[in-house]
Homo-oligomer: A and B are copies of this chain.
Amino acid sequence: MDERPIGVFDSGLGGLTTVRELRRLLPGEDIVYFGDTGRVPYGGRSAETIVKYARQDVAFLRTFDLKAIVIACGTVSTTALEVLAAENPIPVLGVVAPAAAAAARATKNGRIGLIGTQASIRSGAYERLIQAQNPAAQVLSQPCPLFVPLVENGRFRRGDIVIETVAAEYLAPLREAGVDTLVLGCTHYPLLEEVISAHMGPEVALINAGAEGARAVACALEGADALSARSRGTYRYFVSDRQEDFSHLASIFLGWDVTEAVGQVDISQY
């Protein structure tokens, strides 16, 4: 039993889709969330910059006495997980290994599609992890740099010609290659599940990296006997830019209304 909170961070607000899944699985856990809204997005930046930013995000979260840190960001998970895990004495868990494992299990024809940010694709992390478990698997990757800004501007609903056109272009090579499994490798993408599923067809299994990450956290804490005994946890939210828009946007990602106060952090000081 461990009543300390779980720290969760993302480059922005997409990681709240992982918080949503964590609350579903572990309603008794306290969560401290940090979204680096002052420097979002990370997905087009260099590995060096992403590692630097992620270290500061973790340093801020560790001002709380945490039992674990969840990297609720596909880009940081692919690019900085090993460094962060090596540098910190508490477990640091990402979304990539769980999603890669789920994809390796789900595929029947051995052809797995992967969509994510440019940095995530460039890292090659998904390919390595999938092929470690299923050496015959082929991974076809497609960076989707416009998905994050489109989701953040509310363009994620079916029938919106803008997201439908962009999704059709990004997904066509994966559909034509006959993938039977598609990894949504960025925590913003669950909001696009309906759009993506319509383009890929109902027979293609979608793997939600953030949700797989949340399941892995639940297993890890249970295995270490580190779950909380509370029936209901609390939520604290911090961002690195202005707090005004947070409640509105956050509720889209979380699926519930945010009523808590939101803290602002000067992240460059960490």
Cβ of A153: which chain B residues have Cβ within 8 Å of it?
145-146
Number of copies: 2
Cβ of A242: which chain B residues have Cβ within 8 Å of it?
45-46, 48-49
CB distance from A104 to the nearest CB of B (A): 31
A180 contacts the other chain (CB 8 A): no
Assess the A45–B241 pair: CB atoms within 8 A.
Answer: yes
CB distance from A165 to the nearest CB of B (A): 5
Mark A132-170 against chain B: 1 for CB-CB distance below 8 A, else 0: 000000000000011001100101000001100110000
A38 contacts the other chain (CB 8 A): yes
Question: DSSP class of A's interface residues: helix, strand, loop or mixed?
Answer: loop
A197 contacts the other chain (CB 8 A): no
Assess the A241–B46 pair: CB atoms within 8 A.
Answer: yes
Mark A67-108 against chain B: 1 for CB-CB distance below 8 A, else 0: 000000000000000000000000000000000000000000
Assess the A49–B241 pair: CB atoms within 8 A.
Answer: yes
For A39, give its contact among B39, B146, B161, B165 (CB under 8 Å): B39
A268 contacts the other chain (CB 8 A): yes
| Bound CA–CA A39/B46 (angstroms) | 11
| Bound CA–CA A97/B133 (angstroms) | 60
For the A-B complex with A37-B45, A49-B241, A149-B149 known, give 13 more contacts whose Cβ atoms are closer than 8 Å: A38-B45, A39-B39, A45-B241, A46-B241, A48-B242, A49-B240, A49-B242, A145-B153, A146-B153, A146-B155, A162-B162, A165-B165, A268-B268
Could you list some 27 contacts between A and B, CB below 8 A? A37-B45, A38-B45, A38-B46, A38-B49, A39-B39, A45-B241, A45-B242, A46-B241, A46-B242, A48-B242, A49-B240, A49-B241, A49-B242, A145-B149, A145-B153, A146-B149, A146-B150, A146-B153, A146-B155, A149-B149, A161-B161, A161-B165, A162-B162, A162-B165, A162-B166, A165-B165, A268-B268
